[in-house]
Amino acid sequence: MTVQQEATQRRLRVAVIVALVLATVVGYADRQVLALLKPVLDRQLGWSAAQYGAISATFQIAMAFGLLLAGWIVDRAGPRLALGAGLVGWSLFATAHALARTVPAFIVLRAGLGIFEAVGTPASMAAVTALFPRGLRGRVIGVLNAVPNAAAMLTPILVGLLFPWLGWTGTVAAIGVSGLVLAAFWFGLPLGGLQTGEPRSVSPRTAAAPAAGWRPVAAFALGKTLTDPVWWFMLYWLPDLLHRRFGLDTAHLPLPLVAIYAAAAAGSLMAGLWPARLVRNGMEPEAARRRMQIIAAFAVMPLPLCLLPVAGLLATVALVGLALFGHQAFATSLFSFVSERIPAGRVGRVAGIGAFCGNAAGAAALWGASRLLGGPGGLLPILLYAASAYAIAACVFALLVPVRDLRSR
């Protein structure tokens, strides 16, 4: 490969990262905008907590089942076509939310949004696996996994800026249309000419052999099943909880949410970079990844303390931020495992299966949360589950895929 070809590869890889980052930002903004506008929509449309729970759960269920098909489509059609078509589809459904006025209409539109957004995760994983060498995949995934947190920080700011000028309908439509612009950018990238494969010199410590059998798939799927409900609960209910407990309105929500999701983004970046540093210092790659999982599990454990009467807004933000730091660090370790240990031709399907399990569990969590929050236990059962879920997932992962079975060549 000539110097000019290598330079072309680097530029295209940077463009791909930018496109995947922006696709994730747009997707999460489309999901999160209803949660941020919920106090307004409650007043104007008269939603109950159960109706909002049904709308939220519909998206999760549709996305979960869409993921089963999306992984297969990505492996057959390739990430370029699959992600571009998904972007167009989910952006049209997101824009159409501005026309909805009834709960059934929102349910139909959230279902369409979820089906098309399902392509995002397997397409991104397949693109990273195809276009980046193994030694870089963990770091790239760490960056991409930090993006939802950046989106969660930027969306409240964006909604706070757009809402006074455009109202809720214009705000929703503007965010939806941005996805169509991004789809045009994605289709314009010359990805067909990008060479793939491993770098010319690969260290034995980073040239990991693919994992075989059902155990790696089961470990990834169970890890997502156990931990994803925590993320989805926080994404959909955190703004409302801060509003109810501390009286924060649309104008005052952005700062606490930015702080919380900044901590979550730090967890993604740390899980992408710190294990690589341990490997350079002589540790086995898989052992480094498992150490990150243990740290992540401990980070979530103090979360129930935010229910103490003495826990004010600052303490609540700190504890929730630490928990989401742990969640994103754990999630990055799971996706890094898939990109490095699953054969390239199966990455889309495996990512889709795991994401299906995580989203199905998230849908159940959202449905259950809408009922638990009105009961005598309130938040306590939810936060106690969150505090233990990651430790359980780490143990399950260790039992199904022991480090000794994943030694580097």
Task: Kindly give the interhelix angle for 79-96 and 49-77, rounded to the nearest 10 degrees.
Answer: 160
* Residues 203, 200: Cα–Cα separation, whole Å: 10
**Pick from 293, 295, 303: nearest CA to 323:** 303
**Pick from 288, 295, 290: nearest CA to 273:** 288
pLDDT at 228: 93
Which residues lie below 8 Å from residue 256, measured CB to CB, with a gap of 6+?
Answer: 242, 248, 313, 317
pLDDT at 329: 93
The angle subtended at Cα 277 by Cα 271 and Cα 281, nearest 5°, is 145
- Tell me if residue 377 falls in helix, strand or coil: coil
pLDDT at 409: 43
C-beta of residue 371 within 8 angstroms of C-beta of residue 86: no
**Pick from 277, 326, 40: nearest CA to 334:** 326
Fold of domain 8-189+207-404: Growth Hormone; Chain: A; (1.20.1250)
* Residues 18, 26: Cα–Cα separation, whole Å: 12
pLDDT at 210: 56
- Tell me if residue 208 falls in helix, strand or coil: coil
Is the model's pTM score more than 0.75? no
Task: Kindly give the interhelix angle for 215-246 and 380-400, rounded to the nearest 10 degrees.
Answer: 160
pLDDT at 202: 41
- pLDDT tens by residue, the chain, 409 residues: 576 767 777 888 888 889 998 998 888 888 888 888 888 888 888 887 778 878 877 887 888 788 888 888 888 888 888 999 999 999 999 999 999 888 899 999 999 999 999 898 888 888 888 888 776 777 788 888 778 777 777 887 888 888 888 888 999 999 999 999 999 999 988 876 433 334 433 444 444 555 557 888 899 999 999 999 998 888 778 887 888 788 887 677 778 888 898 898 899 888 888 887 888 888 887 888 889 999 999 999 999 998 888 888 999 999 999 999 999 999 989 988 887 777 767 777 888 888 888 878 887 887 787 777 766 567 888 899 999 999 999 999 999 988 765 555 4
Q: Which residue carries 């299906």 as its tokens?
A: 356
pLDDT at 3: 67
pLDDT at 407: 57
Count of alpha carbons within 13 angstroms of residue 328, beta-carbon side: 30
**Pick from 378, 325, 393: nearest CA to 149:** 325
Cα distances (Å, whole numbers) of residue 388 to 285, 292, 300, 327: 25, 16, 8, 12
pLDDT at 304: 92
